[in-house]
Amino acid sequence: MTILDHLLPAPYTRICGDSCLLLTANCLLMTNPLVQHALISVSDKTGLAEFAKGLAEAGVEIFSTGGTQKFLIAAGIEARDVARYTGFPEMMEGRVKTLHPKIFGGILCRRDHAEDMASVEEHEIATFELVVVNLYPFAATIAKPGVSSEEAIENIDIGGPSLVRAAAKNHAFVAIVTSPRQYGEVLAEISKDKATSFSLRQKLAGAAYAHTAEYDTAIAAWFASRGRESFASTRSPRRRRARPASRWMATAISSSSGQAPLRPAARVSMC
């Protein structure tokens, strides 16, 4: 497989050959790669069957983990097992699932960097143009009466935020979906163009970082409520002055993505 095979459908590479497609490939590198592979790992499975079915109908190959893969297969949707793909099983009671170079390399590779794509080819890494992740329900878990510290800690997601942040960082080439409310818009573009637009990927990336920020804030607040130092107490005065703008930006990003705005910071012990 060559670098062009990651970017263009097979019929074009067979008919034209690498040389005459060089200019076209360079243009595509800087725009919207075809969505060939999707990584799906979610806790909230609302609307997932319909979304994944639409992706499969658009020719997208789905990779998934554990419970999500079982859910998709039960719904009649083919999904490759991440553990089989990476060659490493889920371990430590699910604590380690997706933390592997064959996953993160496929998300973080830059299509306009020859060295990145050479590594993809050398190590037989699938490129992921779509990542669909929502996180363990930490806030809902700690809201339950009598929840133990052990249960709360096991609901601190590690792989999920890492996937979200990696995909959002590489939004030039990857779309990151963090809410079922985003499924419709994403599927509409893929069904129509076999790709996502940069404007949509950028919006989704902003919403993703707002999502992980809120998630980490809830975790920090839980630790603070247990007598541990709040991360906010160590912030510099300059950072404190930036709070209103930061909160407005996160809320604006979240609202524009179709997600509910972040809860006001005043609800979390910050000082």
pTM for this predicted structure: 0.69
Phi, psi at residue 38, to the nearest 5°? -125, 135
**Residue 87, pLDDT above cutoff 70:** no
Whole-number Cα distances in Å, 22 to 107, 137, 158: 23, 46, 40
Mean pLDDT (whole number) for 237-244: 47
* DSSP H helices in 143-197: 149-154, 159-169, 183-193
4-58 residue pLDDT tens:
444 444 433 444 445 444 444 444 445 788 999 999 999 889 999 999 999 999 9
Per-residue pLDDT, 199: 93
- Of 90, 174, 234, 118, whose CA–CA distance to 186 is shortest? 174
Q: What is the pLDDT of residue 154?
A: 77
Q: What secondary structure letter does DSSP report for 204?
A: H
Mean pLDDT of the chain, nearest integer: 75
Distance between CA atoms of residues 3 and 120, nearest Å: 9
Say if residue 248's pLDDT is above 50.
no
Residue with tokens 């906010």: 232
Nearest of 75, 106, 110, 69 to residue 89 by alpha carbon? 69
The C-alpha atoms of residue 26 and residue 7 are separated, in whole angstroms, by 10
To the nearest whole percent, how much of the chain has pLDDT over 70? 65
Token pair belonging to 98: 């997706």
pLDDT of residue 270: 33
Query: CA 255 to CA 221: how far, in whole Å?
Result: 23
Q: Are 40 and 132 in contact (CB under 8 A)?
A: yes
